[in-house]
Structure 1
Amino acid sequence: MGEVVATIKLMPESPEVDLAQLNEKVSQSIPEGTELHKIEEEPIAFGLVALNVTVVVDDGEGGTEKAEEIFAQIDDVASVEVVDVRRLM
């Protein structure tokens, strides 16, 4: 199998969520077998800012599912969505 780079969008529960703290929680919760590449902020609307988490994972069994499940359990995260997946050459 090969590796893929995936971008996972984390939507906070409200604009009042401390993004620096959320960023730290995400960085500390990266599952084994997943490599954190970067975390970028994306303004949405009305002060709400999403985090786009880019990770590198093996495209074998499960793919991004483990990371998605862990991110969804983080306090202050309302939703988790894979928005892009690309194969690494």
Structure 2
Amino acid sequence: MAKVAILVRILPEDAETRPEDLYKRIAEKLPEKYQVAQYQSEPIAFGLEALRMVILMPEDVEGGTEEIESILSSVPGVSQVDVLSVTRVS
């Protein structure tokens, strides 16, 4: 079965929140059907760093990225979640 790769940018609530800390919180909260394939920090401005992640999910999940966006938004320290791209991988 193919998977879907979702590229997301996650903005922290403040400049003191480190991308590594956000990644750890997110990894703990993700259900098993989601897998983090890659992550990195992205400088924004004035010391603020976003977290860019590629998350893999099963192709047959109903609702597209709605569930993963909701999960990511509920993590403490997350201010905003932007889906940058969605693509099918085999």
Task: Provide the TM-score with structure 1 as the length reference.
Answer: 0.87
State yes or no: 1:24 paired with 2:15: no
User: Shift in Å at residue 70 of structure 1?
Assistant: 1.0
Kept in 2, the 8 Å contact 1:5–1:57? The answer is yes
Q: Which is further off, 39-48 or 12-21?
A: 12-21
* Cα pair 1:42 1:52 within 8 Å, conserved: yes
Residue 32 (structure 1) shift: 3.0
Indicate the percent of aligned positions where both proteins have the same amino acid: 33
Residue 15 of structure 1 is matched in structure 2 by 15
Size of the aligned set, in residue pairs, is: 89
The answer on whether the counterparts of 1:34 and 1:55 sit within 8 Å (CA) in structure 2 is yes
5+ residue gaps, structure 2, are none
Aligned letter for 1:20? Answer: E
Q: What is aligned with 2:71?
A: 70
Q: CA RMSD in A?
A: 1.6
Which segments of structure 1 move beyond 4 Å, counting only runs of 4 or more?
Answer: none
1:40–1:52 Cα contact (<8 Å) kept: yes
Shift of 1:11: 0.4
Cα distance in 1 for residues equivalent to 2:86 and 2:35: 14
The answer to whether the Cα contact below 8 Å between 1:31 and 1:67 also exists between their aligned partners in 2 is no
Structure 1's unaligned 5+ residue stretches are: none
Q: Residue 70 of structure 1 aligns to which amino acid in structure 2?
A: I
TM-score, L = length of structure 2: 0.86
Letter in 2 for 1:85: V
